[in-house]
Homo-oligomer: A and B are copies of this chain.
Amino acid sequence: MTETPTVIPQAQSGKKPLSQTQRATRMLREMIITNKLLPGSSHLETELAEMLGMSRTPVREAAIVLEGQGLVEVKPRRGVRILPLSPADMEEIYSILTELESLAAHDVAKNGADEEDLARLRALIQEMETALADDDRHRWAEADERFHHKLVSLAGNRRLQTIVATYSDQVHRARLLTLHMRPTPHRSNEDHRALVEAIAAGDAERARNIHREHRIRAKTMMIKLIASHGLRAV
């Protein structure tokens, strides 16, 4: 894979100067998932190149990468189009995420997690709870994302991680949008606690089922919210 989506931290001490293609890929992905480039809009290669201060070549290569990750579509003479997500698309993606994250939960429980990892997961749940207490949904969402990411990474299946990251990126916009429309996610935190217990107990099937139900609930809510607000795409 060219790049693992949503792996922002690279700035530390690994001082390899990024290539222009890498920079273009990151910047464009960031602008897409944070809605700086609006879904449905099209952008000529030249425009993007100028905007990013580089030539067309790296922009073109970045577009190919992002197309492979389902974020854009490169249309022959129409430029690069930011793909909108319909409720049907969301349904597709959430089904896949549900299944793969549940597999991750299963595998983590089966292979066993050490105390450090369990502590990390519990700390993230705690973080979500205090964020909720402070009515800070943004912080809650961030901790939630990190929880799911950590869970998947513990499964130790790199490809699984890549797929989940890719599709999580795709629904990131929708999550941002519904964050303030949804009811307070208390139930979500209960699910998380139950999941960590199942993992700690090494009960793989229970972990899988808890997480699957958790994900299905999230999906149902998301679709309903989008539909109830009359959004045809995001």
Contacts and interface: CB of A to CB of B under 8 A. Distances in A.
Contact of A61 (B1, B64, B103, B160): B64
A55 interface: no
Q: Which of A1, A67, A95 has the largest count of B CB atoms less than 10 A from its CB?
A: A95
B160 A68 contact: no
A99 B99 CA distance: 7
A160 B100 contact: no
B1 A92 contact: no
A68 B70 contact: no
Interface residues of A, number: 26
Interface string A69-85: 11000100000000000
B100 A96 contact: yes
Interface of A: 1-2, 60-61, 64-65, 67-70, 74, 92-93, 95-96, 99-100, 102-103, 107, 157-160, 163, 167
